[in-house]
Amino acid sequence: MSTTPKWVQDLRPSSPQGSELLRAEREKSNLSIDNLSKFLFSADVLNRRQKILKILQAEKVFDKSHNYFDGRVDRFKTALARSKKLRQLEIQHKWTRQDLLDASDLISEPGPYGLHASMFLTTLRDQGTPEQHKLFLEPAQNYKYIGCYAQTELGHGSNVRGLETTATWNPEDRTFTLHSPHLTSSKWWIGSLGRTANYAVVMAQLVIGGKPYGPHPFVCQVRDLNTHQPLDGIYVGDIGPKFGYNTMDNGFLLFNKVKIPHVNLLARFSGVDPDTSTYIRPASASLIYGTLTWVRSTIVLQSGGVLARGVTIALRYTAVRRQFQDRDTHAPAHGENQVLNYTMVQYRLLPLLAATFALHFTGKAMMNLYEISQKNLRQNMGKLADKKHGVGPEEAHPGTDLLSDLHATSCGLKALASSIAAEGLEVARRACGGHGYSSFAGISSWYADYLPTATWEGDNYMLTQQVARYLLKSARAVLSGKSNNNDTSKILRRFLDKQDTGAAHDILSVDSDIVAAFAWRTAYLTFEALKHRDVEKKSWNSLLVDFWRLSTAHSQYLVVKNFYEVLQSTSIEYELDQNTLIVLHAVFRLFALHTLEREASEFFSSGAVTIRQIQLTRAKAVIQLLEHIRPHAIKLVDSWQFPDWQLDSSLGRYDGNVYEDMFHRASELNPLNCLIVDPYPENDTIVKKIDKTAFKSKL
Amino acid sequence: MSTTPKWVQDLRPSSPQGSELLRAEREKSNLSIDNLSKFLFSADVLNRRQKILKILQAEKVFDKSHNYFDGRVDRFKTALARSKKLRQLEIQHKWTRQDLLDASDLISEPGPYGLHASMFLTTLRDQGTPEQHKLFLEPAQNYKYIGCYAQTELGHGSNVRGLETTATWNPEDRTFTLHSPHLTSSKWWIGSLGRTANYAVVMAQLVIGGKPYGPHPFVCQVRDLNTHQPLDGIYVGDIGPKFGYNTMDNGFLLFNKVKIPHVNLLARFSGVDPDTSTYIRPASASLIYGTLTWVRSTIVLQSGGVLARGVTIALRYTAVRRQFQDRDTHAPAHGENQVLNYTMVQYRLLPLLAATFALHFTGKAMMNLYEISQKNLRQNMGKLADKKHGVGPEEAHPGTDLLSDLHATSCGLKALASSIAAEGLEVARRACGGHGYSSFAGISSWYADYLPTATWEGDNYMLTQQVARYLLKSARAVLSGKSNNNDTSKILRRFLDKQDTGAAHDILSVDSDIVAAFAWRTAYLTFEALKHRDVEKKSWNSLLVDFWRLSTAHSQYLVVKNFYEVLQSTSIEYELDQNTLIVLHAVFRLFALHTLEREASEFFSSGAVTIRQIQLTRAKAVIQLLEHIRPHAIKLVDSWQFPDWQLDSSLGRYDGNVYEDMFHRASELNPLNCLIVDPYPENDTIVKKIDKTAFKSKL
């Protein structure tokens, strides 16, 4: 089929081949990939993913070879076809929700059913009454209603209370009127709404008798179930191309006085009494609180894997790419050096490799804590019921305490983890040099699709205020002797106890002292911020930069602590062999010490470490750790177990055949090569001829 | 034409309107935009740009309204049509090279003639003999030959000496054979080659009698001048889609023993004697040296404007965007706060605004120095001729000294400036929140197109080695008493003189002390690096991270110094009014002090400043400067004078009508909205209907 000339087909890259180089990398490390992979994910999860991968690869619609070439309209159409097929496979193979998520991970593109399967169904389930479940959830679960979650507006995102869409109660006919009073009231960024959804949960300001009651969720049909055309009074469409996420039809939506029945206000927690036209208040907001925490914890858990894709690609490629000879080695016979052997490349990539593990362990710990908090909450409900039987009040609050701790923790970690992942992907891309800029590298589109994570579910800068508020509150409690006994209170108290004698953290010899140094810095910054706010009475606005630094410090402490605790767990000795464990300890130290030296000034000024310690960290410890980890770099990324099909990257191929793959994609799949142009400026003709035989691709 | 319903057309954003907010911003600042713009660019330049803008806007082919929607093939075709029109306008209006560059700036997309008009013509001119000018340059100047510059290969970029393509001299028929021995020998990333060029300057390893003589430039026809099909033995095409730059046809090129005549080796500096088959050596490499310096200086000069586009968009939008009330202001009547009023947003954007000016002034200074160095070089040639008349040797070298200083300076500044610009654009994009992610924001495509600048003309990390090498050499000269009297030697000597008494830089009161503190840190890091290399005999590779830090420090010093010197120039008092001058001084201090606090640990450990000074910088000085500059932010970006047509951004509109523009583009220009899909998973149909009436756009 290919018309590539024979002499081109016969060419091979100059030696050594990429495959030989990666084989050598794998041979020289004694690390056990198998053990490490199972430790990270469990054997069950790895097997399940393998099974799903096989199913997907057998379906033509999931063929990825045109993804990097197609324009937006084609990509959207393909994405919708894939979403449909996924739903068919879900039924056929009786997939669980987790199976479906794994399949999406492997496909690695947002699909037009994305918001239906997550927020639409979840909101109907969690906030609907049994009657509403019957009316809306059942047809939605069967994909008769395809829905979305319409909250953000053109003029309002972070400030949900400022939403402008109104839902006015009409007592006379027991309906609500949905209305968009301004252009800025238009719903905007609503995933799955642009072209796909026929239903939406619309967050609108409830108005009863002229009085506003804040945003509430309303179910609203937006398109005809047969013609798929917008209903009367509704103006809906796609908001246009974006930096990434172009397989998703994010939409806009305007209402011109659209009436919906009383039953369309999701009424499990609050509502309107249709007989009296009075508002029914919600009992507690803690469940919604919990959902947000869960969503953010998921982002933390995913961040390690998100970053690991880019790091896998960059490390494999920099082990294959050779450029220049080592400057101190003058023997020409030596050949060119693998790019990964340069310390400047190691310094950019290996701390990111360390971060992938640090974030993964932190995400798992967060998820565990979330499960515990949910269990506690349920038990707590039970205890509250027991209270009449003599159980004291102090035991009655562990669940909610943990939950508010977890809420703040998840805010700070979501911000830190998604920033590390997004920025790390770009560092990984640039470490691939010129070829990193090619779509075939597989990093830029993944990066562009991931970027919104820094903004949604709480803007990464906005969220840091939540963490600061929590830490200030904890510090006030510690100072007034009313604190509980959680970790935050402990590190704040330790700082107060020790601040007159000073800290002596032996960060270069003792791992637990590294953790203590991070804790010390957090505590120092907390009490500094508290002084500014409570003593010096500075305005909240003037302290936002301090709060951001404080949140970052606290979240870095948590990541370091979580990684450390995994290494201290008793089970780890059974699951990992000694060689692997030693490397993982080095990975921990690299993450922690590299973070510490990057934030050096806060560690000095808080007195957590000395200037000399920082200098030694920078000049010796980090460089030695790079040297220690370098031989295991390829196996460490192998342990993430990304199939080539998932990475879809020329540079990140497991077998190291990067140049063959780049060349194949460029020369045989690239539709631009079908155009024979007229190159002369005086001729207005642009395309002279379409060459349909030269390339396999479609135009 | 539009089918937008009347009720939608009647909607306006909720008040206050963006136009009112920006008008208020402009009224509250006493800064003179006119004076500042003229100071930055000169009145002549501003007028010229206006004239060119009018010409471009009158041509239909330059209409930008579909740019954000089109896929790669369409974008390339449009870009080629635009390039042709530009060439026609160039002839029609007798445009100079600078006029053409200004026109390209306004169009703001890479075009398929890009490498023809720059590297191809320049190389033919600079490296060709008069005979070759007649043969190749003349038809190239008349666009009979459309060319490109084919240096980089699939396997080699930075290491030019490692190129694999060979050009073997055949004495029997006085030809060269161009050949690609491996797949990695394929030329790759060659701009304008993919579809457009019919000629190439090919860098290939010259081989005479089996002996290699290194890379040399060969002119080679690659496509037929009539059919535009590849010539025999040539395999050429486009390398496929990239993160950005998709209007350019970067290409690949393989040779299967292609013969070219002797005259096709560009022979001004070196060549092959066809009679004796011996190599003719080049006299001096300093001219090529000069070209690279010029290219890098251009990147420095452009970086300010590149960043200013993103900062203009972000500052205008954050002045229009309102979200939340100020936390300490509880009056509900107060309304929502402009996002730009939050210190966290100011802290992200205003130092970048300061950087745009710092980089612009630095670029201008670099260009001046370059002109002086070229003048000196020419005079120097004269002096060398005068030597027989008694002129001493010490006066004979100022030109080359300045040139080698300039070479190193341009390497470091290219790396720093393009990193600040690229990373700053992404910061600006994120500061726009969710809407920053829309293509209509106008930042993401600009950012993606700019990114290669961090890699080409010397990878930003690689280049830092050049700076370190130069600084080490300078330090050795200073220590041995053999240094010259340039600025680098001066700051190194000052450090040595003062190191036993210590520094006392009053950075918070005295501007010149800020500059001195930056110089001190550079000198400290230089002597530290020298100790590691010369005394401790550490390997070059183990010091790459130190070298990178050193280069960054030195380049930051240069930027701070250049900005400072502009403010000290005697002419500035005549060109700028007092109000504008005061603001510009604050802008200088913000840039310098913000850089200083970000790099705090090096300033401490070098003893350039005290920890207390850093704490005061962070907690007080920077925050006060943000407050000082905030009211002038919009006028400061206005002074960059970007026409809306150039920015092509909904968020960055001069008039502040951001939401109207976003909505218009999404609803009336978006081709995805022509698709009526079938949303049900059990139906394999994807597109139910194409709605040709609903939207103005093409599909």
Alpha helix segments (H runs only) across B393-486: 398-431, 444-450, 460-479
Whether the Cβ atoms of residue A410 and residue A293 lie closer than 8 Å to each other: yes
Q: Work out the pLDDT band at B392, boundaries 50, 70, 90.
A: very low
Residues B334 and B325 sit within 8 Å (Cβ to Cβ): yes
Nearest C-alpha neighbor of A68 from the set A239, A307, A244: A244
| pLDDT for residue A292 | 82
CA distances, A442 to each of A639, A646, A658, B651 (Å): 19, 10, 12, 30
Domains of chain B and any CATH numbers: 28-109 (1.10.540.10), 143-282 (2.40.110.10), 291-327+335-381+395-639 (1.20.140.10), 652-694 (no CATH)
Do the beta carbons of residue A650 and residue A662 sit within 8 Å? yes
Number of other CB atoms surrounding residue B161 within 10 Å: 11
Question: How many angstroms separate the CA of residue A686 from the nearest CA in chain B?
Answer: 6
Q: Kind of pairing, strands B199-208 and B149-150?
A: parallel
In 3D, which of B100, B66, B52, B458 has the Cα closest to residue B247?
Answer: B66
Mutate to test the interface with A, among B161, B192, B344 (most CBs of A within 10 A): B344
Token code pair at residue B362: 């630095």
Q: Rg of the Cα trace of chain B?
A: 28
Please pick, among B25, B109, B153, B457, the residue that the annotation labels catalytic. B457
pLDDT band at B400 (very low <50, low <70, confident <90, very high): low
Beta pairing, strands A166-170 & A199-208 = parallel
The reply to whether residue B143 touches residue A680, judged by beta carbons under 8 angstroms, is: yes
Contacts of B286 (CB under 8 A, 6+ apart): B377, B400, B403
Give me the DSSP letters along A42-53: -HHHHHHHHHHH
Strand A149-150 with A199-208, pairing:
parallel
Contact yes or no for A460/A454 (Cβ under 8 A):
yes
pLDDT band per the 50, 70, 90 thresholds, residue B399: low
Q: At A490, which amino acid appears? A: K
Q: What is the mean pLDDT of residues B178-190?
A: 98
B385 vs A182: which has the higher pLDDT: A182
The listed range with the strongest mean pLDDT (B153-167, B249-263, B498-512) is B249-263
B236-260 per-position pLDDT tens digit: 999 999 999 999 999 999 999 999 9
Inter-chain residue contact B241 with A68, CB threshold 8 Å? yes
pLDDT for res B689 = 87
- The 3-state DSSP class for residue A17 equals coil
A62-117 pLDDT per residue, tens: 999 999 999 999 999 999 999 999 999 999 999 999 999 999 999 999 999 999 98
Rounded to the nearest integer, the mean pLDDT of chain A is 93
Region for A141 from its dihedrals, namely left if φ exceeds 0, alpha if ψ lies in -120 to 50, beta otherwise:
alpha
Poorest-confidence range of A453-462, B328-337, B616-625?
B328-337
Q: Which residue has the higher pLDDT, B284 or A407?
A: A407
A515-574 confidence digits (pLDDT tens): 999 999 999 999 999 999 999 999 999 999 999 999 999 999 999 999 999 999 998 999
Give A-chain residues touching B611 at CB under 8 angstroms: 604-605
Banded pLDDT at B288 (limits 50, 70, 90): low
The beta-carbon contacts of B585-588 under 8 Å, at least 24 apart in sequence, are B585/B511, B586/B625, B586/B628, B586/B629, B587/B353, B587/B354, B587/B357, B587/B629, B587/B636, B588/B354, B588/B357, B588/B358, B588/B511, B588/B563, B588/B564
Contacts of A440 in chain B (CB under 8 A): 240
Candidate from A81, A243, A611 with C-beta closest to B605: A611
Is B152 annotated in a binding site? The answer is yes
Helix orientation angle between B544-568 and A343-386, rounded to the nearest 10 degrees = 90
Average pLDDT for B560-575: 95
Q: Which tokens is A642 given?
A: 């990304």
Mark the binding-site residues of A for FAD, compressed into ranges. Answer: 152, 191
- The rounded distance, in Å, linking the Cα atoms of A76 and A81 is 9
**Parallel/antiparallel/unpaired status of strands B251-255 and B234-238:** antiparallel
Is residue B378 very low, low, confident or very high in pLDDT (cuts 50, 70, 90)?
A: confident
User: Which two tokens mark A155?
Assistant: 């003029």
pLDDT class for A287, splitting at 50, 70, 90?
low
CB contact under 8 A, B344 and A461: yes
Output the CA–CA distances (angstroms, integers) from residue B579 to B29, B30, B31, B575, in the order listed: 9, 7, 6, 12
Distance of CA B127 to the CA centre of its chain: 25
**pLDDT range class, residue A286, cuts 50, 70, 90:** low
Grade residue B14 by pLDDT with cuts at 50, 70 and 90.
Answer: very high
Chain center to CA of B421: 8
- pLDDT value at position B280? 93
With beta carbons under 8 A apart, name residues in chain A contacting B686: 77, 80-81, 84
ipTM above 0.85, yes or no: yes
Say whether A83 and B681 touch across the interface (CB within 8 A): yes
More confident residue, B380 or A495: A495
C-alpha separations of B255 from B185, B222, B246 in Å: 9, 10, 25
> Would you call B679 and A439 a contact, using CB atoms and an 8 Å cutoff?
no
Give the percent of chain A with pLDDT over 90.
85
Q: Is the pLDDT of residue A394 over 60?
A: no
Q: Check if the beta carbon of residue B669 is closer than 8 Å to that of residue A237.
A: no
Question: Which of A109, A457, A597, A602 is labelled catalytic?
Answer: A457
pLDDT at A698: 47
- CB within 8 Å: A667 and B237: yes
Q: From CA A115, how far away is CA A112, in angstroms rounded? A: 7
Taking contacts as CB-CB distances below 8 angstroms, the residues of chain A near B243 are 429, 437-439, 444
Residue B214 region by backbone torsions, left for phi larger than 0, else alpha for psi between -120 and 50, else beta:
left
CA nearest to B320, candidates A154, A88, A29, A249: A154
Tokens describing residue B100: 């053409």
Residues B414, B434: Cα–Cα separation, whole Å: 31
Specify whether the CB–CB gap between A153 and A193 falls below 8 A. no
b/e A288-304 (16+ beta carbons within 10 angstroms → b):
eebeebbbbbbbbbbbb
CA dist., res. A28 & res. A696, Å (int)? 40
Start-to-end CA span in chain A (Å): 17
Which among B69, B181, B184 has the least Cβ separation from residue A241? B69
CA nearest neighbour of B454 among B410, B409, B423: B423
Whole-angstrom distance, CA of residue B436 vs CA of residue B674: 25
Nearest-5° angle of CA A185, CA A188, CA A191?
145
pLDDT above 70: percentage of residues in chain A: 94
| Beta-carbon contacts of residue B559 (< 8 Å; ≥ 6 apart) | B358, B359, B362, B413, B416, B417, B591
Sign of the CA dihedral with B191 first, then B194, B198, and B199 last? positive
Q: Rounded to 5 degrees, what angle do the CA atoms B596, B599, B600 make?
A: 75
Q: Do A615 and B600 touch (CB under 8 A)?
A: no
CA of B672 vs chain A CAs: smallest distance (Å): 6
Phi/psi at A261 (nearest 5 deg)? Answer: -70, 165
List C-alpha distances in Å: A55 to A98, A259, B248, B684.
15, 45, 38, 19
Rounded to a whole number of angstroms, the distance from the CA of B661 to the nearest CA of chain A is 11
Say whether A159 and B324 touch across the interface (CB within 8 A): yes
Mean predicted confidence (pLDDT) in A429-447: 97
Nearest CA in chain A to B68: A241
Asked if B549 and B556 count as a contact pair (C-beta separation under 8 A), the reply is: no
Round to whole Å and give the CA distance between A249 and B675: 11
For residue A676, give Cα distances in angstroms to A292, A690, A693, B395, B531: 54, 6, 12, 58, 59
What pLDDT score does A6 carry? 94
User: How far off is chain A from B486, nearest CA to CA, in Å?
Assistant: 29
Residues facing A423 on adjacent strands: none
The per-residue DSSP string of A69-100 comes to T--HHHHHHHHHHHHHHHHHHHHHTT--HHHH
Chain B residue closest in CA terms to A326: B541
Confidence of residue A645 (pLDDT cuts 50, 70, 90): very high
Q: How confident is the model at residue B397 (pLDDT cuts 50, 70, 90)?
A: very low
Residue B457: active-site member: yes
Q: Which residue of A has its CA nearest to B445?
A: A243
Whether residue A254 contacts residue A180, with contact meaning beta carbons closer than 8 Å, is answered with yes
Average pLDDT taken over every residue of chain B: 93
From chain A, pick out residues whose CB is under 8 angstroms from the CB of B699.
Answer: 73
The answer to whether B252 contacts A667, with C-beta atoms less than 8 Å apart, is: yes
What digits encode the pLDDT tens for the residues B413-422? 999 999 999 9
